Amino acid sequence: MISSSRQRRLTAAALAVMTVAAGATACSSGSGGSDAKGAGGGTYTIWDPYPQFDKTSAWAKLLDQCGTKAGVKVKRTAFDTSDLGNKTLLAAQQGNSPDVLIVDNPVVSTLAEAGVLTTTDDNKLDTSKVDPNLLAAGQSGGKTYGTPVGANTLALYYNKKVLKEAGVDIASVKDWKSLTAALAKVKQAGKKGITFSAIGTEEGSFQFLPWFWGAGAKLTALDSPQAVSALSLWKDWLKAGYAPNSVLNNTQTTSWQEFATGQYAFSENGTWQLANAKKAGLDYGVLPVPGAGGGNAAAPTGGEFVTIPVQKDTGRYTTSQKLAACLTSTANLYDTDTTLSYVAPTAEVQGKQVAANAELKPWVEAVRAAKGRTSDDLGTKYPKISEQMWKAVQSALSGSKSPKDALTAAQAAAK
């Protein structure tokens, strides 16, 4: 039997998961599979959000290898990111959770607060080598609930040809003032400035956060002067014609398609576009999003955590820990994160990635400066705050409210 208090937590968690998943960021898509749990002590179930990888893929083979190493058979089920959180909550209600769960990082704290996940104190997962800023996305109430399999984040792609024609030296772009000056030059040269996603979903909040955090703003004070300055920056860019009005409806995919035309100087987007950048044939570079006064702004981390759900049979945890440790070991992370287009969560493997591909250096820098959306112990408060943030961005950019009024209303609603 599930206690009534845990049942209430699971129900509340379902609502939070649906809110975050509605704009699942930089994650996989495709068709899910069966949610049946494997029977028998020799079979361990693993759920992941990578349906694009079939049983012949390197990822699926790694799961099987880790099972063999642990002396068990692995039954893997892949779901869309938007389905996985709710499937996990349903399984917890039914006492049928998977043994190992790989889940989008903003959902970790929601599942943890619902009592679905074990802590690393309980399951003995070693997180000592993981970058603390990445691990924070899986922490809630002072406890850690898993370990990241890898991370992606946002940065600025730039078109070298467009900047050259506009007489812009990319080395001069170090803060908001110099970036805006570069956009002005680009427009004067007859080209387009910057494209991004400001859509009214989690994707819009995800893309606004580097500017929000880069101004020194905090998610607990959406109406601070720093927050207003960040939203005013975007508003001013639209007003001056440095960014298109299409950003109001742009997803990260449609925003990228605009950049891929070769007409834009900059695009805010993520590591997951690297293959598309090569495919587009653009002569491009990558620059971490600058902070208002210089330095690298903290961008939000995307990517998944490997977690171990609560089981009635606690004797299963030992093998589950072996499976999770295998998937996130130094020996396997390099291949896994190359497959997923992720930056590794440890300095050791990040070094191997940059040595193999110098193009990853700015992404490693961006990930090291990145921040979890649920960090600062926001947990399940984040989805509500995020929703008010994207609504404020929409109101300000559409002209229905000033940045200050939009954020004042957002803060009042978020409380």
Q: Which pLDDT value is given to residue 45?
A: 97
DSSP run (H or E) holding 338: helix 330-340
Q: Domain total for the chain?
A: 2
DSSP run (H or E) holding 269: strand 264-270
Q: Which pLDDT value is given to residue 17?
A: 54
In a domain, 97, yes or no: yes
Q: Are residues 164 and 229 in the same domain?
A: yes
312 to 2, 114, 309: CA distances (angstroms):
11, 16, 10
- DSSP for 252-267, written as a single string: HHHHHHHHTTT-EEEE
Q: Are residues 135 and 226 in the same domain?
A: no
Q: Are residues 224 and 318 in the same domain?
A: no
Q: Which pLDDT value is given to residue 32?
A: 35
Q: Is 189 exposed, middle or buried (0-12, 13-18, 19+ CB in 10 A)?
A: middle
Say whether 214 sits in a helix, a strand or coil. Answer: helix
In a domain, 374, yes or no: no
361 to 3, 10, 172, 195, 356: CA distances (angstroms):
49, 41, 19, 23, 10
User: Whole-model pTM?
Assistant: 0.82
The β-bridge relationship of strands 192-195 and 147-148 is unpaired
Q: Are residues 129 and 43 in the same domain?
A: yes
Q: Are residues 295 and 305 in the same domain?
A: no
C-alpha dihedral, 35 to 39 to 42 to 43, nearest 10°: -10
Q: Are residues 292 and 395 in the same domain?
A: yes
In sequence order, the 6+-apart residues with CB closer than 8 A to the CB of 22 are: 82, 201, 202
Q: Are residues 312 and 323 in the same domain?
A: yes
Q: Which residue has the tokens 């996305």?
A: 137
pLDDT in tens, the chain (415 residues): 455 555 555 555 555 554 555 444 443 333 333 333 443 459 999 999 999 899 999 999 999 999 999 999 999 999 988 789 889 999 999 999 999 999 999 899 989 999 999 999 999 999 999 999 999 999 988 999 999 999 999 999 999 999 999 999 999 999 999 999 999 999 999 999 999 999 999 899 999 999 999 999 999 999 999 999 999 999 999 999 999 999 999 999 999 999 999 999 999 999 889 888 988 999 999 999 999 999 999 999 999 999 999 999 999 999 999 999 999 999 999 998 988 889 999 999 999 999 999 989 999 999 999 999 988 778 888 989 999 999 999 999 999 999 999 999 999 999 8
Q: Read off the CATH number of the domain in which 147 is found.
A: 3.40.190.10
DSSP run (H or E) holding 15: helix 4-21
In a domain, 279, yes or no: yes
C-alpha–C-alpha distance, residues 400 and 402, integer Å:
7
Backbone angles phi, psi at 233, to 5 degrees: -60, -50
In a domain, 271, yes or no: yes
b/e map 354-385, b = 16+ CB within 10 Å? beeeeebebbbbbbbbbbbbbbeebbbbbbbb
In a domain, 23, yes or no: yes
Q: Give all strands (DSSP E) within 32-179, no chain letters.
A: 43-48, 73-78, 100-104, 139-140, 143-144, 147-148, 154-159
Instruction: Quote the tokens at residue 134.
Output: 């990445």
C-alpha–C-alpha distance, residues 309 and 87, integer Å:
13
The β-bridge relationship of strands 100-104 and 43-48 is parallel
Q: Which pLDDT value is given to residue 159?
A: 98
In a domain, 292, yes or no: yes
Q: Are residues 57 and 90 in the same domain?
A: yes
**What's the domain range around 311?**
4-152+301-369
Instruction: Quote the tokens at residue 240.
Output: 């001056």
C-alpha–C-alpha distance, residues 269 and 279, integer Å:
16
Cβ(78)–Cβ(50) below 8 Å: yes
C-alpha–C-alpha distance, residues 247 and 197, integer Å:
5
C-alpha–C-alpha distance, residues 27 and 49, integer Å:
8
Q: Are residues 384 and 365 in the same domain?
A: no
Q: Are residues 306 and 288 in the same domain?
A: no
Domain end, chosen from 336, 351, 369, is at 369
C-alpha–C-alpha distance, residues 126 and 345, integer Å:
13
Q: Are residues 255 and 396 in the same domain?
A: yes
Q: Which pLDDT value is given to residue 377?
A: 77
Q: Are residues 184 and 138 in the same domain?
A: no
